[in-house]
Amino acid sequence: MTRKVYTAKNAVASGPYSHAVDAGEFIFLSGQTAMNTVGAEKMTGDIGAQTKQCFTNLFEVLEAGNLTPDDVVKVNVYLTDMGNFTAMNEVYKTFFVDPYPARTCVAVLALPLGAEVEIELIAKRSN
């Protein structure tokens, strides 16, 4: 089987994975951090800027698969500090409209490349 994959134009993978894999009706997007972007070191400590960059990277992947934020059905957010939840949420809510996708948000000990937030998505193609 050959996987059909999609890639963000302005983000780099920090390991051996695809930015997204097309599984037919569902598209699974790998987690993105702001640190996968050139100039990301300037965002350290700015959870709002990091969250925005995560979505910029993810939405580039959606676009490569001919999808939009309206096709997102599930979001997983990983934070290294739950004290950043409110700041992340303020940015998060600007990227979706009601009814919002299902979401999980969990605290983790650490993230790759020193990131403070990582976000992954699952999207579903409209029929």
Per-residue pLDDT averaged across 110-126, rounded?
94
**So what's the pLDDT on residue 40?**
64
- The pair phi, psi for residue 56, each rounded to 5°, is -60, -45
| Alpha carbon distance 59, 95 (integer Å) | 10
Name the CA dihedral angle for 113, 114, 115, 116, rounded to a multiple of 10 degrees.
160
| Alpha carbon distance 51, 54 (integer Å) | 5
* High-pLDDT (> 90) share of the chain, %: 77
pTM to 2 decimal places: 0.93
pLDDT value at 105 more than 90? yes
**So what's the pLDDT on residue 41?**
67
Q: What angle do CA 14, 32, 116 make, to 5 degrees?
A: 95
**So what's the pLDDT on residue 103?**
98
Encode pLDDT of 26-68 as tens digits. Answer: 999 999 999 888 666 677 789 999 999 999 999 999 999 999 9
